[in-house]
Structure 1
Amino acid sequence: MAIDDSRTALLDAGERLIAERGVEVPLRDIAAAAGQRNNSAVHYYFDSRAGLVEAIVERRMNWLEDRRMHLLATHESDGTAHDLRTLVAMLVLPILELTGQRRVTHYGRFLEVVRAHPVIADIGRLAGADRAAVRIITTRLAAALAHLPPPRRRQRLETMATVMFALIADYERALETRLRTPAPESDAAEIVAMIVAMLTVPAR
């Protein structure tokens, strides 16, 4: 197996097993699932468990960033790039597209698992806040919620990422267990609607 193939197999196996069994799944199990006879394969390619988790996040983030930049350009041209629902959709839809179009079946569950792990310094980084597209979207979301007191606005935006990961993880589980059949447009609209409702509920 070529080096690139071995690395990809470890990323695939790590994403799936961490999603199913948690961050502390034995690294030898990940190596075995990736077809590696060497139990130290994860250390060889990624130095550590933390390195593997970061590599899994980064691999998907690159594609998500490109997709969100494309969506931003599209919505800039039609004048909807500052609409709250559109902004939320630009965060949600690309992750659902990974599931539907690119057959990535565990990434939402992986994000849900690792979001609370010390490997990931904060929820903003996990959501891709260091990427230009996400930074633009979250800045505009904050502006759309400018009527809220700053602490409440910050709390809702931080909670939004947690809610988004949980809803997408539940969606993946429902598809895997055949509790629902895919209906990409309506499924995405429902997830976006729930997040928008959380963001816009009147402040007490």
Structure 2
Amino acid sequence: MQIDDSRAALLDAGERLIAERGVDVPLREIATAAGQRNNSAVHYYFDSRTGLIEAIVDRRMNWLEDRRMQLLAASEADGTAHDIRTLVAMLAGPILELIGRTGVTHYGRFLEVVRAHPVIADARRLAGADRAAVRIIATRLTAALAQLPPRRRRQRLETMATIMFALIADYERTLEAGLRTPDPGDADEIVDMIVAMLTVPATDPAATRADEPTRPAESGA
């Protein structure tokens, strides 16, 4: 097995086993699942558990970034660049496209598992906040929710990633279990649920300080 093939096999095995069993799955089991006889293979290729997780995230991130840039360009052309639903679809849609590709079967569940685990020291990296497309989408989402009091707006945008990853992971689970088959409307339904959470009117806006600063959302692995 060539070095590139060995590395890719470890990434595949790590993504699957972390998704199925959690981030603390023994590294030797990841190595065995990848066809490696050396139990230290993960350390050899990635230095540590954190290095493996970051590598799994990074290998998908470039494709997601490119796809979101394409969607941003299309939204500029058709005049929907600041529409809330369009912006949410740019975050969730590419992940759903990705897990629909051959060989990508556990990425949604992997993201759900690792996003809140302390092994990820920099949540911004996992969210893709260092990528231009995510920064643009986050800034526009913040502006699109200007009708909400600042604290509510910040809370909803920070919660959006949790809900998005949970919905995508659950969808991926049901596909694998055979409880549903892919449908063209699946992405629309997930986006609709996220948008509903973001836009539901605040019940007690007077109780929220209007002068509290708001940070842009940083979500969208």
Q: TM-score range by the shorter chain?
A: over 0.9
Which structure has the higher relative contact order (CA within 8 Å, separation 6+)?
Answer: 2
Q: How does 1:121-200 map to 2 (within 5 A)?
A: 121=121, 123-183=123-183, 185-200=184-199
Q: How does 1:114-125 map to 2 (within 5 A)?
A: 114-121=114-121, 123-125=123-125
Give the deviation of 1:125 after TM superposition: 3.1
Q: Which amino acid aligns with 2:187?
A: A
State the partner residue of 1:201: 200
Determine helix, strand or coil for the equivalent of 2:185: helix
Q: Output the TM-score relative to the length of structure 1.
A: 0.97
In 2, the alpha carbon distance for the partners of 1:101 and 1:76 equals 27
Q: Output the TM-score relative to the length of structure 2.
A: 0.89
Give the deviation of 1:100 after TM superposition: 1.4
State the partner residue of 1:94: 94
Percentage of matched positions with identical amino acids: 83
Determine helix, strand or coil for the equivalent of 1:96: helix
Give the deviation of 1:89 after TM superposition: 0.3
1:123–1:159 CA distance, 2 compared to 1 (3 A): farther
State the partner residue of 1:14: 14
Give the deviation of 1:103 after TM superposition: 3.6
State the partner residue of 1:3: 3
Determine helix, strand or coil for the equivalent of 1:82: coil
Larger fraction in helix = 1
In 1, the alpha carbon distance for the partners of 2:147 and 2:131 equals 26
Give the deviation of 1:123 after TM superposition: 4.3
Structure 2, gaps ≥5 residues long: 204-221
1:152–1:121 CA distance, 2 compared to 1 (3 A): farther
Q: Which amino acid aligns with 2:95?
A: I
Determine helix, strand or coil for the equivalent of 1:60: helix
- Bigger Rg over Cα: 2
Give the deviation of 1:119 after TM superposition: 2.3
Aligned length: 203
